Amino acid sequence: MISANLSAIFYLISGILFILALRGLSSPDTSRQGNYFGIAGMIIAIVVTFFSVGNFSTSLVYVVIFLLIGGAIGAFIAFRIPMTAMPELVAGFHSLVGLAAVFVAIAAFLNPEAFNLGVVGGIKLASLIEMSIGAAVGAITFSGSIIAFLKLRGIMSGSPITFTGQHFLNLILGIGIFVLIYYLCVSQSANIFWSLIMISFLVGVLLIIPIGGADMPVVISMLNSYSGWAAAGIGFTLENTALIITGALVGSSGAILSYIMCKAMNRSFVSVILGGFGADSSSDNTKEKKDQKPVKSGNAEDAAFLMKNASSVIIVPGYGMAVAQAQHALREMVDKLKKNDIKVTYAIHPVAGRMPGHMNVLLAEANVPYDEVFELEDINNNFANSDVAFVIGANDVTNPVAKTDPKSPIFGMPVLDVEKCKSVLFVKRSLSPGYAGIDNELFYKDNTLMLFADAKKMTEDIVKNLD
């Protein structure tokens, strides 16, 4: 058994290692090293906990066994998961953090002596508040992430589920949580503690169901943030520095990502939370404006011809590329183009895909060097002096309406200036609107050639035609 002071210092060290882990992500070169820092921090925290409790009886054997069971499951998932499924994986992992926080809070509530928080029925007031906050946030994270997981996985429809009085109900339940925490502090009653957790589960579900599929990047980031705050709440209860530092880091990380995502969609955080976006709001304006405008459509041969004669091509990938698993075919196409001395770069909109950085991972998986991949603000000026823009699976993020029509729901959203290219190749299954439910003006421009097909099949056909 080691002293509380010594273990606190080790927890501080593991907290610092976690900071370095995030710091490493500032560039791909240092990121792998950063990940090792994170692993080291985790090992230190776990080993120190074993020594600080100092119980080396049968319990420890079971702890190690359960640790290895979980570890084996986790490792299995990590190696098997396809990169296109990263958003659901992350949502699933968030739910586990949330549930773990709930379980730890329950354990602390049932056996406060083990955590040095007082006795059953006489838990210290501050600890009680901290653990109820940890449990409530953890429960919201859990059930919210489950819903996000189901939506991303396609088990549940991605369209928003709304009903009248929804926000009012959420408000009541939110207030209810605080009232319950108050009564819990007064009475120390176990029943109130259970009700608190149940209501929090319900709030998590109600919070996420009205949010549509296109807002998923915000939701995932937000849940990421919640999982951090839940960890911090538990960290305060356990008086554990490593947990407090980590909770704060993760909480602010998720909050920043949510902010970046909201900004990239020109939506306020509140309006995302209130939900209902992308349901049916704009079907009427589609009808009145665009009745059968002419669209130029082409085939793989035309596309290959256009690109062969170009000197620079910019590729704009989107969620459709992920769905069709077209990233490897795309890479093949780019290799062919490069052999013909055509300059190829990739342009990525911050909300392309279903989570922050989703497209970058998919391109990296297909062996695309990361220094050919550019963010919106770095590449947007290059469209004007490029020959071909190849839009594959993206839609709303290229819609020029965002710049021209103040009535459009996406007005003001930063978009890629694809239409400034000499010609635009747009791979899409049909003319149907994207998630925002609005027509893309780009389809009807003179310099746009629509390629109606599955993204992967079309790309493969183009590859054949490039020979």
Partner 1 sequence: MEIDPFIFRLSIFILSIFIGYYVVWSVTPSLHTPLMSVTNAISSVIIVGAIIAALAGSSESVFDISSIFGFLAIVLAAINIFGGFLVTQRMLQMYKKKKDKKK
149 binds partner 1 (CB under 8 A): no
Q: Which is nearer to partner 1, 336 or 428 (CB)?
A: 336
Rg (Cα) of the chain, in Å, rounded? 25
3-state SS, 78-137, equals HHHCCHHHHHHHHHHHHHHHHHHHHHHHHHHHHCHHHHCCEECCEECHHHHHHHHHHHHH
At 323, phi and psi to the nearest 5?
A: -60, -45
With CB under 8 A as the contact rule, the residue among 282, 360, 386, 395 that binds partner 1 is 360
Q: Which is nearer to partner 1, 249 or 425 (CB)?
A: 249
151 binds partner 1 (CB under 8 A): no
Which residues neighbour 55 within 8 Å (Cβ) at sequence distance 6 or greater?
A: none
Residue 132's closest CA among 148, 117, 113?
A: 117
Residues 234, 240: Cα–Cα separation, whole Å: 8
Give the orientation angle of helix 216-238 with respect to helix 125-153, to 10 degrees: 160
Contact between 417 and 349 under an 8 Å Cβ cutoff? The reply is no
Q: Which is nearer to partner 1, 45 or 333 (CB)?
A: 45
Known catalytic residue: 454?
Answer: no
With CB under 8 A as the contact rule, the residue among 166, 205, 239, 420 that binds partner 1 is 239
With CB under 8 A as the contact rule, the residue among 188, 240, 282, 423 that binds partner 1 is 240
Residues 19, 28: Cα–Cα separation, whole Å: 16
Q: Which is nearer to partner 1, 161 or 359 (CB)?
A: 359
* Smallest separation, CB 425 to partner 1 (Å): 24
H/E run at residue 424: strand 423-428
Q: Which is nearer to partner 1, 236 or 383 (CB)?
A: 236
Residue 355's closest CA among 214, 462, 204?
A: 214
Q: 382-400 burial by CB neighbour count: b if 16+ within 10 A, else e?
A: bbeebbbbbbbbbbbbbbb
Binding pattern to partner 1, positions 397-436, x when CB under 8 A?
----------------------------------------
Taking CB under 8 A as the criterion, which residues in 372-391 touch partner 1?
372-373, 375
3-state SS, 44-79, equals HHHHHHHHHHCCCCHHHHHHHHHHHHHHHHHHHHHH
* Smallest separation, CB 451 to partner 1 (Å): 27
Contact between 418 and 349 under an 8 Å Cβ cutoff? The reply is no
Binding pattern to partner 1, positions 255-284, x when CB under 8 A?
-xx--x------------------------
With CB under 8 A as the contact rule, the residue among 1, 72, 172, 186 that binds partner 1 is 72
3-state SS, 23-48, equals HHCCCHHHHHHHHHHHHHHHHHHHHH
Torsion from C-alpha of 53, 57, 60, 66, nearest 10 degrees: -140
Taking CB under 8 A as the criterion, which residues in 322-351 touch partner 1?
348, 350
Q: Check the CA dihedral 86-92-98-103 and report its sign.
A: negative
Binding pattern to partner 1, positions 41-70, x when CB under 8 A?
xx--xx--xx--x-x-xxxx-xx--xxxxx
With CB under 8 A as the contact rule, the residue among 242, 262, 424, 462 that binds partner 1 is 242
With CB under 8 A as the contact rule, the residue among 6, 81, 119, 171 that binds partner 1 is 81
Residues 122, 117: Cα–Cα separation, whole Å: 9
CA angle (100, 101, 105) in 5-degree steps: 115
Residue 121 CB neighbours (<10 A) = 10
With CB under 8 A as the contact rule, the residue among 1, 4, 6, 110 that binds partner 1 is 110
* Smallest separation, CB 166 to partner 1 (Å): 28
* Smallest separation, CB 437 to partner 1 (Å): 26
Segment near partner 1 (CB under 8 A); pick from 12-20, 166-174, 192-200, 399-407: 12-20
Q: Which is nearer to partner 1, 107 or 172 (CB)?
A: 107
Segment near partner 1 (CB under 8 A); pick from 203-211, 233-241, 291-299, 398-406: 233-241
Q: Which is nearer to partner 1, 188 or 448 (CB)?
A: 188
- How many residues of this chain bind partner 1 (CB under 8 A)? 117
The active-site residue out of 396, 417, 439, 461 is: 396
Residue 316's closest CA among 406, 382, 405, 219?
A: 382
Taking CB under 8 A as the criterion, which residues in 24-43 touch partner 1?
25-28, 31-32, 34-35, 38-39, 41-42
146 binds partner 1 (CB under 8 A): no
Q: Which is nearer to partner 1, 60 or 175 (CB)?
A: 60
Q: Which is nearer to partner 1, 64 or 171 (CB)?
A: 64
- What letter would DSSP give residue 457? H
121 binds partner 1 (CB under 8 A): no
Give catalytic residues, as residue numbers: 396
